[in-house]
Structure 1
Amino acid sequence: MKNYQFNLKHIFYLFTVSLLMVGCSSDDDGTPDDPGEPDPTVEPVVLDCDFFQEGNIHLEKVPNAIVDYIVTCDPKIKGDLIIDEGVVIEFERNAGLQMIHDNNYKIQMNGTVDNPILLTGVEKTKGYWRGLLMTSDDPTNVMKHVTVEYAGQQRPGGWGYEGAVIGSWGAVMSFDNCTIQHCQEIGLHWVGYSAELNIYNSIFTKNDLPIKTNPNFINSIDETSTYQGNINDYVRLEHTDVNKDITFHNIDVPFFSNGFKPSNGAKRTFTFKPGVTILMDAGSQMRFQNAFSYQHETIMIGTPEDRITIKGKEDVPGYWKGLSIESDSPLNEIAYLDIANAGRTTAYPNGAINLGYSSYLKIENVNFIDCFEYAMSLDYRQTMFYLEYDNLVLDNTPKLFSDRHGVEVADPHNP
């Protein structure tokens, strides 16, 4: 396979020699030219689709260039893509890069603190260029100290994905000290078919939406990165079956979810850190149960200073269905939670929290705010469930306990 490497020393050899000759020339009075005269600026190298047709691509810094390369199209790269520190690439309108070959070539963009990589548009307008689309599952894939800006479009050709940086179909990537900003649609769109996402110390700002993904990829969406300053200041989570243990971290914007549940493959642990805020979409539900009795673990423990908040995106009673727990794990615990706008409006059970039969739950210091009818619904088909509760507060929520048919229960231990 051909290996296209832009080592530009030989390209500028004659140019450098000519500069030296000019520098050694004398004025009419025999005085040498001023040695402090700045080097001339080099024009960017234009990369069209023919350049990307085959072979590995290695883009190095062009000496004396402010912008090193201009990409004019949206090519499918058929080899490794390596970009060195300090490289600046501008993309023409609707240009981009597609790293989607079946051979899963590696992607490595290795900027540094002092010499970051910049991927930007020729014009500084949101959505001016398409962005990056990747499916490579090479475990060494990395984008380090890279800024992506002014990208983000709906991808043509059957992909249908929108955003500036998109991962799909087995994609693996580590984002380390990256910035995605001024992008249209979505800054980072990590689609459900992807394999692995790692984010460290990165910034997502001034986009229409910072991140869209599903709960299987939220473990690295944590406090080391910032997500504020976007038109829609939340991390959008798409509905999915969760196939791993996941943790909701207390990031600087809410999560916005349209629901999730564990897959049927094995036991899962769902952990919610103190201070987490989750907005729920209309009619959505968090289910900590599936078709098999794997006894999933729900650990939702805030603190008096950092309560967990789960509420409807709109402040309407019954806007979303609520939490459903069916597990006898002794680790199931909910504490210092504000749950708002939950409860079924047309069916039973209609509690903001539904506790299934043969289940275990410790729950205390929970505020039920603007919920439709009941705080909790309990399933008595088998009375062998464990419920320990204390300080459950009704705030514009009519009643505390019901059975699964919507009948009020005064004492949950003696229905």
Structure 2
Amino acid sequence: MKTKLLLLSAISALMFVSSCSSDDDTITPSIPELEALELSNCSSGIAEGETLILENRNNGVDYIINCTYPVNGDLIIDPGVTIQFGTDATIRVYNSGSIQALGTAQNKVVFTGEDKVPGSWKGLYIISSDVKNKIEYATIEYAGAVGDDGAILLWSDTHLKMNNTNITNSQTYGLHANTNNNELILENNTITACKAPMYLDASYVSAISNGSYTGNNTDAIIVDRGFIDEDHTWTKLNVPYHFPNGVDVVAGGNLTVMPGVIMKFGQDSRLFINEGASGPKPSIIAVGTAAEPIVFTSIDNVMSAWRGIYFDSPNALNEIGFATIENASNPDQEGAIETWYGTVLNVHDVTFKDIQNCAIHQYKFPADPDTLTRSNLTYINVANAFCQN
């Protein structure tokens, strides 16, 4: 009898639920998660003119790549997709191809290594000028195997917009781009636990805005010696810029350095504003504020570690103000600031510190007008404030 009563109670409950449900109610069946799919067509990859869309298949690894996967068409990666790479695997985006990793703040695209150790896979290699190239709201981790030298490695004539992306645990650099004619937009990215955040040609420094770049072996944007021959603006980041081999502002170049920027120079290097034989005269405007001075110093914090700033330009825009210049001047450059004949320069509100020879050294013929303006300068441990030939 007890069993029958329990059965009737159960039937009654079911009837009650059914009577309370409308005919329009539908039950959505759960969608089973799919196993990770290996992209194994490594000889052909994505052909020119083709498009491959990688969709989110599950809550774990969606796709596996164990080779050098060539992209000659369009690769589109949806939000939430995770791609796992085997040892030395990589995606290579060639001239006719493009990559769009389109994550969101809630559903990032993840590129990761199977072994979960720095350098376990090569990274993303992009050789494409396609304006569709975009990486946003992504995580790139455990890449940068030695030899390719970057979790993202860009070759000449590449276009890339990368924003809100986290690069971490690269065995080498987070981003490596020191070849010619790239077009980059780098906004609000975070690079940490890498050899250094970025290794860039000097012409790409102005592509960086905001972001965080601490927690690396070297907390600095490393700038390969390059030539500034257009209008560029370098902004303050939460790490300094390192110039191991210096940098040149040449004909047609106009460099603006914003308040708070820290520029550190390698042994015997210099910042050279060089008019050359022809072309528009180059200039530098490096004007900080009292609260946020611009700092020109050395990577090695010792006296005479770098040459200094050398001017050979009659451009009336040349100005250095509210700045600190330290550890400059050595046997190859007598002045921490050195000006060649005819240079026009306004130097004001600058502190010279730990200068072995001259704070300012001017080359000038006695009969020539003085085109060097100096005001409100401070000298700390400086051998000579001003020298003239």
State the TM-score, normalizing by the size of structure 2: 0.87
Aligned match of 2:35: 43
Say whether the 8 Å CA contact 1:60–1:83 is kept in structure 2: yes
1:328 is the counterpart of 2:314: yes
Distance in 2 separating the partners of 1:153 and 1:112 = 27
Runs of 5+ in structure 2 lacking a partner? 1-9, 15-26
1:301 is the counterpart of 2:287: yes
Distance 1:62 1:361, change over 3 A: closer
Say whether the 8 Å CA contact 1:289–1:327 is kept in structure 2: yes
1:95-114 matches, within 5 Å, as: 95-100=89-94, 102=95, 104-114=96-106
- How many residues are aligned here? 362
Distance in 2 separating the partners of 1:221 and 1:111 = 20
1:244 is the counterpart of 2:244: no
Runs of 5+ in structure 1 lacking a partner? 1-28, 156-160, 405-415
1:366 is the counterpart of 2:337: no
- TM-superposed CA distance for 1:351, in Å, is 0.3
Aligned match of 1:379: 363
Q: Which has the larger displacement, 37-46 or 326-335?
A: 37-46
Percent of pairs identical after alignment?
Answer: 28
3-state SS of the aligned residue for 2:360?
A: strand
3-state SS of the aligned residue for 1:396?
A: strand
- TM-superposed CA distance for 1:83, in Å, is 1.2
Distance in 2 separating the partners of 1:153 and 1:41 = 32
Aligned AA (1:319): A
Distance 1:37 1:125, change over 3 A: farther
3-state SS of the aligned residue for 2:203?
A: helix
1:138-287 matches, within 5 Å, as: 138-155=130-147, 161-222=148-209, 224-257=210-243, 258-263=245-250, 266-287=251-272
Distance 1:357 1:96, change over 3 A: same
Q: Flag the structure with higher strand content.
A: 2
Distance 1:84 1:37, change over 3 A: closer
Say whether the 8 Å CA contact 1:49–1:74 is kept in structure 2: no
Distance in 2 separating the partners of 1:42 and 1:141 = 28
Say whether the 8 Å CA contact 1:261–1:290 is kept in structure 2: no
- TM-superposed CA distance for 1:249, in Å, is 0.7
Say whether the 8 Å CA contact 1:54–1:77 is kept in structure 2: yes
- TM-superposed CA distance for 1:179, in Å, is 1.2
Distance in 2 separating the partners of 1:71 and 1:51 = 13
Partner residue of 2:388 out of 403, 412, 415: 403
RMSD: 2.3
Distance in 2 separating the partners of 1:124 and 1:52 = 28
Distance 1:54 1:214, change over 3 A: closer
Aligned match of 2:83: 89
Say whether the 8 Å CA contact 1:132–1:166 is kept in structure 2: yes
1:394 is the counterpart of 2:389: no
Aligned AA (1:127): G
3-state SS of the aligned residue for 1:342?
A: coil
Aligned AA (2:128): S
Post-superposition Cα deviations, 1:30-58, rounded to whole Å, max 9, x if no partner, equal 999xx999865432001124474442352
Aligned match of 2:305: 319
Post-superposition Cα deviations, 1:165-191, rounded to whole Å, max 9, x if no partner, equal 011121110002111111111000112
For the pair shown, the structure with the greater C-alpha radius of gyration is 2
Distance in 1 separating the partners of 2:178 and 2:315 = 31
- TM-superposed CA distance for 1:400, in Å, is 1.1
- TM-superposed CA distance for 1:116, in Å, is 1.4
Distance in 2 separating the partners of 1:62 and 1:253 = 36
Distance 1:241 1:50, change over 3 A: closer
Distance in 2 separating the partners of 1:388 and 1:62 = 63
State the TM-score, normalizing by the size of structure 1: 0.82
Distance in 2 separating the partners of 1:253 and 1:357 = 35
Distance in 2 separating the partners of 1:401 and 1:286 = 19
Aligned AA (1:237): V
- TM-superposed CA distance for 1:267, in Å, is 2.1
3-state SS of the aligned residue for 2:112?
A: strand
Say whether the 8 Å CA contact 2:57–2:81 is kept in structure 1: no
Distance in 2 separating the partners of 1:330 and 1:197 = 30
Say whether the 8 Å CA contact 2:56–2:80 is kept in structure 1: no
Shift >4 Å, 4+ stretches: 29-32, 35-41
- TM-superposed CA distance for 1:357, in Å, is 1.2
1:137 is the counterpart of 2:110: no
- TM-superposed CA distance for 1:145, in Å, is 1.2
- TM-superposed CA distance for 1:209, in Å, is 0.7
Distance in 1 separating the partners of 2:34 and 2:82 = 13
- TM-superposed CA distance for 1:214, in Å, is 1.6
Say whether the 8 Å CA contact 1:39–1:64 is kept in structure 2: no
Aligned AA (1:64): N
Distance 1:139 1:40, change over 3 A: closer
Post-superposition Cα deviations, 1:60-79, rounded to whole Å, max 9, x if no partner, equal 32443521101011133232
Aligned AA (2:219): D
Distance in 2 separating the partners of 1:52 and 1:205 = 34
Say whether the 8 Å CA contact 1:295–1:326 is kept in structure 2: no
3-state SS of the aligned residue for 2:71?
A: coil
